[in-house]
Amino acid sequence: MGYIIETTSLSKQYGHETVVNQVNLKVQPGTIYGLLGENGAGKTTLMKMLTTLALPTQGAIKLFGTTLERNSDLMSEVGAMIETPVFYSSLSAEENLMIHCRYKKVPLSDMKEYLEMLGIYKHRDKKVKQFSLGMKQRLGLARSLIGNPRLLILDEPINGLDPSGIKEIRELLIRLKKERGTTILLSSHILNEIEHCADTIGFMHKGVLCKEKGIGELQDAEIRLYEIKIKHLDLHVEKLKKVFEVVNIYHQTVVVSAAGLTATEAIKRLIENEIEMIEMKALTESLEDYYMTMIAERKEGEAI
């Protein structure tokens, strides 16, 4: 099977501002793909184009291997929650889902399963205007699941949820992937939540999909740091910058990204370059550290 989502040179402009810039995104079937980026990075606009809520200025979108067009029948296979979910506030939760069931042409009996799945079945008769933000998020997720879609596109799905609610939704998404083979594209600014459920993470900055990493890569040696205390460090700074990717320098210590090297290989590089080491220890870089370093590098490049 090919990609569930595939975009080619996808761009969106509003006036003279480019908010999504030449994005080439590929999402494998039965996986969770996390989009990570600052506010204004283009995540929501990208998702709007994937759900025909916004038209691309340039580029192409394929869903399930078929080119996406406005009013496409492909959307019957997609469940989505983009930005803050909107409901008829004077209607009950159940009445709102009834409208969506009719729109999706699915049995009204489907509602109970998803209301129970999201823990709001007992509130089904309550008017939505009485719901908290977290309850509206749960109802929005329940609505996105109506019809058992093959693809879920979720923009900040854990917004407004308490810690137990966040854990519950994370476990639900993982269960949908494992038990139903659902493919999920989600965005979040909560780094550790994406880290806990995504198979692949795409980093967006100013409309550009900067990097994509499998979660295994992020947890493996590629993001390992070495903290090395160097004798006469000031004499070796330029040489170290050629040997390693230097992350930080302080006192007589340099912190470097070893980029997949073992400690033995890192020491060998020091010896080959006649850099005398006093001590070295491996550091684990978190996803947040990796992300912040990458964004800082992008901003530094833009300033040049």
**Average pLDDT in the 11-34 region?**
97
Describe the strand order of the beta sheet including 78-81 as a list of residue ranges.
78-81, 151-155, 183-188, 32-37, 200-205, 208-214
What stretch of H or E contains 206?
A: none
Tell the residue number behind the tokens 């901003």, with chain if given.
299
Largest CA distance in the chain: 74
CA distances (Å), 211 to each of 128, 175, 202, 291, in order? 39, 27, 6, 10
Residue 221 has pLDDT above 70, yes or no: no
CATH of domain 5-219: 3.40.50.300
Per-residue pLDDT of 42-65, as tens digits, reads 999 999 999 999 999 999 999 999
Q: Per residue in 270-295, pLDDT tens?
A: 999 999 999 998 876 667 777 777 77
How is the chain split into domains, by residue range? Answer: 5-219, 222-302
| CATH code linked to domain 222-302 | 3.30.70
Q: With CA atoms as reference, report the closest residue to 227 among 211, 251, 205, 209.
A: 251
- The whole-number pLDDT of residue 270 equals 92
Q: Beta strands of 76-182 (E only): which ranges?
A: 78-81, 151-155
**What gap in Å lies between CA 222 and CA 95, rounded to an integer?**
50
pLDDT value at position 219? 64
The pair of structure tokens assigned to 260 is 């997949």
Average pLDDT for residues 184-207, to the nearest whole number?
89
Burial class of residue 300 (count of CB atoms within 10 Å of its CB; 0-12, 13-18, 19+): exposed
- pLDDT of 304 > 60? The answer is no
User: What digits encode the pLDDT tens for the residues 235-266?
Assistant: 999 999 988 888 889 889 998 886 677 788 88
Q: What pLDDT band is residue 77 in, cutting at 50, 70 and 90? A: very high
